[in-house]
Chain A
Amino acid sequence: MSQSLLELQSVSKSFGGLRVINDVSFAVEKGSRTALIGPNGAGKTTLFNLISGVYDLDAGSISIDGMDISHMPAHKRCRFGLSRSFQNIRLMPHLSTVENVMLGQHSRSSLPGQLFPIGIGRNRSVREAEDALQSAGLNTYPGQIVADLPYGVQKRIEVVRALMAKPKLLLLDEPAAGLNATETDALLDLLTQISATGVTLLVVEHDMHFVSRLCQDVVVLNFGEKIFHGTPQSAQQEPAVLEAYLGTDHVA
């Protein structure tokens, strides 16, 4: 019997009277690969923002590994095994690629440790970041400026940065959006490899083909409500899901 790593209970959130997340409950099993899908504006990103602490909850609770994080400040949640990437690339434009990845290590550093130089030479932190980039199939040189890299590479760097926090749960917001076929395959490889190390994945994705290749579980949101939770195969036969996507070609 598997345990759940992430648990949402009756989570709700409104923006100025508009209810964007309405009484959403679901659990993500430890070690699983779960997709969060739904039409544009369904509230997927908002849900990620609630889990990671960008917004406060209006109602309900969120717990990770049995620990209630509903009211924990965002900067502390990282330390409890939560890390994420962003729908729109949010790499630091003035940091090098390696420095961007090293930012992901921050939550594992102690206060005295923060006063040791990491920007001089190739010390342990730098090597760890370089190794992580390398094992994700990304070779960069020291000082590489992120903005100079192709979009697909930047997307993967975001995943590597998130991974540097050694999360139990990785939240990925549309990691495959805008990638070409080769880049998508590289990403799938990377995510499969990450999953194999025991990290639980919760992935927002539109492409059902991608979802069925990666995930064994799908949660479907529509207008802020959870309308389905099951396997990708059954999602594609579920009338409510098909209706939510009606008129769009998202569901293959």
Chain B
Amino acid sequence: MSGYLSAQLSILCLNIIIAYAIFLPAATGQLNLGAGGFAIIGGYVGGYLNSSFDGLGWAMSVSIPVAALITAIIAFALSFPILRTRGVYMVLATFAFAEVVAGIVLNLEVVGGAAGFPVDGHADLKILAPITIAVIVFCWFLLSTRFGLAMRSVHDDENVATLFGINVRWIRVAAFTLGGLLGGLYGALYGHQYNYIEVQNWNVLFNIYVLLYVLLGGTQTPFGPLVGALFFTVVPELLRALGESLNSELIADGRFALFGILIVLMMVFRPEGIVTRTLLERLSGRKTQEAVT
């Protein structure tokens, strides 16, 4: 496998994992603009556990899961104040969380502050790919359970969900916490893939992109994050390749503008995301008319 391809596939794997981290709360109707907060915690905890202590750090097989777990615990604790907020206020609260985490780590000398932090253990595609597949399978499974049905019900109408016995708060907390777990996992894997992390990797733009690709993929089915991550990983590369092969500076330089226009168009034409329930029904070839009263 060429270096280019495996590098791109690694990015795709990481993007898929962080997409599911944001998808889980989004599937219950919560907009989380704090992906970077989870990523920073997971990245730095994982990197620190693996690479500090004068070479006596923990193996990746321990540092990565522990980093994910610690991120999940922090997400759980934070979910209570954050989930008191709704709609745009929740977006702001999660965003503020990410900013606070970034601010703290930037001033944390033990992990290098603004200079960044080198991570020893290297996680290549052979490690990333199976973990990514496991994450996909886990999220698909979760969405197929009664718990998943409850998540989707809370998304659609929390009052009705409550009246049918669903503890809405618990569903929200669980989804947010599991999102934290996956976000921490993403951060730790990222650190071990690039062997160097800095807070700037997970800036405002990152938070926006992740939420955007989850919304663009669609939050109604577990296909959504997969499609969103694929779109955001592949399309900019395709545009770059197109610009190179056409020798067009307009496309090469303006590809992000082009990409932006594409996103706007998608949002206009598919406001509920690329993959929706209705789309899947259409694709599966069953006709609505078959329905008998």
- In the complex, are the beta carbons of B156 and A75 less than 8 A apart? no
**A76 and B144 contact, Cβ closer than 8 Å, known pairs A95-B153, A148-B288:** no
- In the complex, are the beta carbons of A104 and B152 less than 8 A apart? no
Total A-B contacts with CB atoms under 8 angstroms apart: 120
- In the complex, are the beta carbons of B144 and A119 less than 8 A apart? yes
Asked if A86 CB lies within 8 Å of chain B CBs, one says yes
Asked if A150 CB lies within 8 Å of chain B CBs, one says yes
Nearest B-chain residue to A137, judged by Cβ: B293
- Identify A92's interface contact among B141, B143, B152, CB under 8 A: B152
Tell me which residues across on chain A come within 8 A of B165, comparing CB atoms.
75-76, 78-79, 106-107, 165
Q: CB within 8 Å of B: which of A48-93?
A: 52-54, 74-79, 83-84, 86, 90, 92-93
Which of B152, B156, B165 has the most C-beta atoms of chain A within 10 angstroms of its own C-beta?
B165
- Identify B149's interface contact among A54, A79, A95, A148, CB under 8 A: A95
Interface residue tally of chain A, by bracket?
A: 35 or more
- Count of residues in B whose CB is under 8 Å from the partner chain: 37
- In the complex, are the beta carbons of A153 and B156 less than 8 A apart? no
Nearest A-chain residue to B278, judged by Cβ: A145
Asked if A141 CB lies within 8 Å of chain B CBs, one says yes
- In the complex, are the beta carbons of B293 and A115 less than 8 A apart? no
Asked if A120 CB lies within 8 Å of chain B CBs, one says yes
- In the complex, are the beta carbons of B166 and A75 less than 8 A apart? yes
Which of B146, B148, B288 has the most C-beta atoms of chain A within 10 angstroms of its own C-beta?
B146
- In the complex, are the beta carbons of A94 and B288 less than 8 A apart? no
**A140 and B291 contact, Cβ closer than 8 Å, known pairs A78-B165, A165-B164:** yes
Tell me which residues across on chain A come within 8 A of B152, comparing CB atoms.
92, 94-95, 99
- In the complex, are the beta carbons of B161 and A141 less than 8 A apart? no
Asked if A102 CB lies within 8 Å of chain B CBs, one says yes
Q: In the assembly, what is the distance between CA of A17 and CA of B269, in Å?
A: 46
Tell me which residues across on chain A come within 8 A of B88, comparing CB atoms.
none
Q: In the assembly, what is the distance between CA of A94 and CA of B155, in Å?
A: 9
Shortest CB–CB separation between residue B284 and chain A, in angstroms?
7
- In the complex, are the beta carbons of A114 and B164 less than 8 A apart? no
- In the complex, are the beta carbons of A143 and B284 less than 8 A apart? yes
Tell me which residues across on chain B come within 8 A of A16, comparing CB atoms.
none
- In the complex, are the beta carbons of A153 and B293 less than 8 A apart? yes
Nearest A-chain residue to B282, judged by Cβ: A145
Asked if A39 CB lies within 8 Å of chain B CBs, one says no
Asked if B167 CB lies within 8 Å of chain A CBs, one says yes
Q: Hey, which bits of chain B sit against chain A, CB under 8 A? A: 141, 143-150, 152-153, 155-157, 159-168, 220, 276-278, 280-281, 284, 286, 288, 290-293
Given contacts A75-B167, A79-B165, A153-B293, 17 further A-B contacts (CB under 8 A): A74-B162, A75-B168, A78-B165, A83-B164, A90-B157, A93-B156, A94-B155, A95-B156, A104-B164, A117-B141, A137-B293, A139-B291, A140-B291, A143-B286, A148-B291, A150-B293, A152-B293
The 9 closest A-B pairs by CB, nearest first: A107-B165, A119-B144, A78-B165, A92-B156, A114-B146, A139-B292, A117-B144, A114-B147, A106-B165
